[in-house]
Amino acid sequence: MQLSERIMQIFGEIAKVPRQSKHEEKISAWLVERAKADGFAVDCDDVKNVIVHVPATKGYENGPIVILQGHMDMVCEKTPSSGHNFQTDPIEIIVEDGWMHANQTTLGADDGLGVATALAMAEDDSIEHPELELLFTVDEETGMTGANALRAEQLKGRILLNLDSEDEGVFTVGSAGGRETKSVVPLVKSPLAAGSRVVSIHVSGLLGGHSGCEIHCGRASAIKLLARIADRICAETPDAKLVDIKGGSAHNAIPRDAQLDVAVQAKDAARIVDIASEMGVHFASEFKKADGGVKVETHVKDIAGDAYDSKTLRNIVDLMLVYPHGVAAMSQDVAGLVETSSNLASVRIADDKLHILSSQRSSVPTKLNTLTAKIEAAVRLAGGEAHSDGGYPAWQPDMESDVLKRCVDAYENRFGHKPKIEIIHAGLECSIIGSKMPDMQMISFGATVVSPHSPQERAEVKTIGMVADFLADLLKSYK
């Protein structure tokens, strides 16, 4: 069996195990049992990180210890029509036209392919390598919990190959830092007049995607589009009241769909429908190239009881309009690199409060803090409270490292041309691991994965074998 086929086989086994972020108990146990079955020593720490110790092959006993690292969790996104349960159902993998994707859900190639690649390298007796440490971390996608909990003494190696990048032929040597902000804004209830109607407005059909890797692509945010519709509603029907609003999901996924329910007098319902329809036409024109599938749909029904008053609706709409989303600044040092950005990730109502989640990124710590402060100020002006976490640091590149030189040589020898070296706007665990172990040499690479963090996620099959062959060459160089 070819190495690429073995990786695909292992990935298929991983896809059967539930591994939503913060729910990695089953995949962690699966990795431990697999390592034991292979005869490898294995450690599992308090947060369920797994470290597999793989002995050197004959003749490589004096080589340096190399760490192969990936995260075991995945972003769980699905289409509105999918009935998939990420807690129980296996990911249904489909391979066609040279690409691998899932059935209406995220594929989990980010970073299941990295985990599968590391396991394949360790389990293949024909691959020559020094002593390996396979480091599989938890909760990379929603908090980097595993990397944050890692202790320097858990690892002996000081060469780390992160298998969580998504463009074959590209070596990542630096990444952005980031912070999350969670906000709550109180809502004021008000009784509805008899005969009121509720108009549900649903924005959907957007591409979404990774809020770091694809924030610069000009794709629409369903929440931001919904805010624009709501702004028109407030202007033309000032007595409209808020019934519900929800949109977005993961902090690192650009919102693909969102819904607003507003209560109005029966005579105004048709106008609300017209406003939504008109805005839908504008959106289709504005995003015809970057996000051509945008849809705005409405549904009208009777309603009785309470809603949230008109001032509350206006306040919430104003906050969503001014809330930063998208690219805030481009790098002044690296052409084409996003320096600072924000993703208005999700909104929802619970316990008579609006809950907002956003994720900010920047390669410049002071600008990250400034953008976060701007968000917190906007929330305070809306009468709410904002709480931002400590975040994670940027990974500063070392262009003179031995691991980078070896990677470039191995790649050029294998494929006959030089790879691309880049710094990315997304966050990688290398930033946290490097902050704990300053002497760690690090680099990140992987097979080509398109549209991670969305149901359109897909991996190019041929690049899986290309990365595996390159990695085998690289490990062989550490004799």
Burial call 371-405: b when 16+ CB within 10 Å, e when fewer: bbebbbebbeebebebebeebbbbbebeeebebbe
Q: Rounded to an integer, what distance in angstroms lies between the CA atom of residue 244 and that of residue 266? A: 18
Q: Is 24 a catalytic residue?
A: no
- Candidates 24, 111, 139, 140; catalytic one: 140
Q: Rounded to an integer, what distance in angstroms lies between the CA atom of residue 291 and that of residue 462? A: 28
- Candidates 24, 73, 111, 429; catalytic one: 73
Q: 82 exposed, middle or buried (CB, 10 Å; 0-12, 13-18, 19+)? A: middle
Q: Is 140 a catalytic residue?
A: yes
DSSP H helical ranges for 344-444: 365-381, 402-415, 430-436
N- to C-terminal Cα separation, the chain: 26
Contact 306, 191 (CB under 8 A): yes
Q: 177 exposed, middle or buried (CB, 10 Å; 0-12, 13-18, 19+)? A: buried
Question: Residues with Cβ < 8 Å from 378, sequence gap 6 or more?
Answer: 319, 322, 323, 324
Q: 417 exposed, middle or buried (CB, 10 Å; 0-12, 13-18, 19+)? A: exposed
Question: Residues with Cβ < 8 Å from 123, sequence gap 6 or more?
Answer: 6, 38
Q: Residue 451 has what DSSP assignment?
A: S
User: Which residues are identified as catalytic?
Assistant: 73, 140
